[in-house]
Amino acid sequence: MSKVGIIGVGQSTFVRSYPGSIRELAFEAYSDAMRDAQITNDLVDATVICSSPEYDKQRSPAGVVAEYLGLNPQPTFYVETLCSSSSTGLKLAYSLVKSGLHSCVMVLGFQIMSQLTSAESQERMGRGADIQWESPFGTMMPAYYALHAQAHMAKYGTTSEDLALIRIKSGTYGQLNERAVFRKEVTPEMFADKDGFGGPVSSPLRVGDCCANADGSSCIIVASEEKAKALCKKPVWILGIGSASAPVNMAGRDQFSGLLVGIEAGKQAYKMAGITSKHIDVAEVHDCFTIAEMMAIENLGFAEPGGGPELVRAKETYKEGKIPVNVDGGLLSKGHPIGATGCSQVRTIVLQLRGEAGAIQVKDPTIGLVHNIGGVGLYGNVTILGRE
């Protein structure tokens, strides 16, 4: 079976308010990835452009972005699965190469969120759920994840302090990541400030439990085994890809202490790669909220259900721990420009596996994992990457 490799990765700096258009933002990640791959654009024979609509005015952005990057007349495809759009795009790119239809595909995720206020953004995000039966109650992403935090606390005795530990870790690494939006240390004292991190958002989640909206772009270039070996000194191989969906309405869910899509996509990815969670050396998981990282740790098998808090308290998810998680600052500190998040996570793991992660480098990893969730566990992708 021929493999599919990643030969280039790129990312813009994630910022609060990008001073440019979506095509200009896309160029930042694209040029970074093309310089990394050291290829010319005639080698790219298809593109996949990913974002979540309604944050900017452009309809059907794939054509606009492909043209700006000089990628006509190659075909371009637009992919949307909310916050997991670009890891879904990576799965499409993998399929295009694996099928032999294309041999080198560029995946680009972007999002400009700063043109909206936070409340407007929450209203749009809320409409990524059930607009007939849930949105009229005034739902928003923090509230949906808060329902899961409440259930996790009730079932396992997890505390707000346990969740804060996740935010403190992301602060540690966000400081080291030059491309992160939030580059400050996070301390337990900050959660005591009711006008700051300790302020209530949706019980039991507080301001400090939530990631910040950001503007940003990310880009991954994948190639067939033959091309990857010819073009790239250190290709990183896609070993496993799992994807799943779940009922959109909370009334359709069987549990609130974990995300079914994370569990299902993880199972598929481990099976395809022929490994278990024990083989993972470094992981990027979808921590749009602290509780999301806690559930991911358990759903991916790094801890038993309910064992997440103990792993977090023991600092086993730090860079030197048993399973380093989100050592680039995660969505919480790096930022969450939703369409760009998946490929940004993939970039981090590729740099880790190449030994090029700098200050956040984990010691000699061979296999890494990316867990990217769309909506409130509506979509989920788990991607396993390896050096060999």
Going 17 to 204 to 146 to 300, the CA torsion angle's sign is: positive
Q: Which of 84, 122, 177, 243 binds another protein (CB under 8 A)?
A: 122
Distance of closest approach, residue 253 Cβ to another protein, in angstroms: 8
Site for another protein in 312-351 (CB under 8 A): none
Q: How many CA atoms lie within 13 A of 258 on its CB side?
A: 21
Tokens representing 367 are: 């296999």
How many residues bind another protein, per CB under 8 A? 42
Please tell me whether residue 292 binds another protein under the rule CB under 8 A.
no
Residue 135 binds another protein, judged by CB under 8 A: yes
CB-CB contact of 332 with 165 (8 Å): no
Q: How far is Cα 354 from Cα 344, in angstroms, rounded to an integer?
A: 15
Q: Is 202 in the site for another protein (CB under 8 A)?
A: yes
376 contacts another protein (rule: CB under 8 A) = no
Q: Cα–Cα distance between 75 and 33 in angstroms, integer? A: 19
- Give the length of the chain: 388
Assess 195 for contact with another protein (CB under 8 A): no
φ, ψ dihedrals at 131, nearest 5°: -75, -20
- 358 makes contact with another protein (CB under 8 A): no
Gap between the Cα atoms of 185 and 193, Å rounded: 15
Binding window for another protein (CB under 8 A); candidates: 7-15, 121-129, 292-300, 351-359: 121-129
Convert 238-276 to b/e letters by CB count within 10 Å (16 or more is b): bbbbbbbbbebebeebeebbbbbbbbbbbbbbbebbebe
Q: Does 259 bind another protein (CB under 8 A)?
A: no
CB of 379 to another protein, least distance (A): 19
Please report whether residue 142 would count as binding another protein according to CB under 8 A. yes
Residue 377 lies near another protein (rule: CB under 8 A): no
Least Cα distance to 121 among 4, 20, 214 occurs for 214
At residue 85's C-alpha, the angle toward residues 330 and 25, to 5°, is: 75
Q: Is 16 in the site for another protein (CB under 8 A)?
A: no
Q: Tell me which of 44, 151, 221, 369 binds another protein, using CB under 8 A.
A: 151
Instruction: Give the 3-state secondary structure of residue 44.
Output: coil
Tell me: does residue 253 bind another protein (CB under 8 A). yes
The answer to whether 63 contacts another protein (rule: CB under 8 A) is no
| Residue 342 beta carbon to another protein: minimum distance, rounded to whole angstroms | 24
Q: Which positions touch another protein (CB under 8 A)?
A: 117, 119-120, 122-123, 125-127, 130-140, 142-143, 146-151, 154-155, 199-205, 249-253, 256
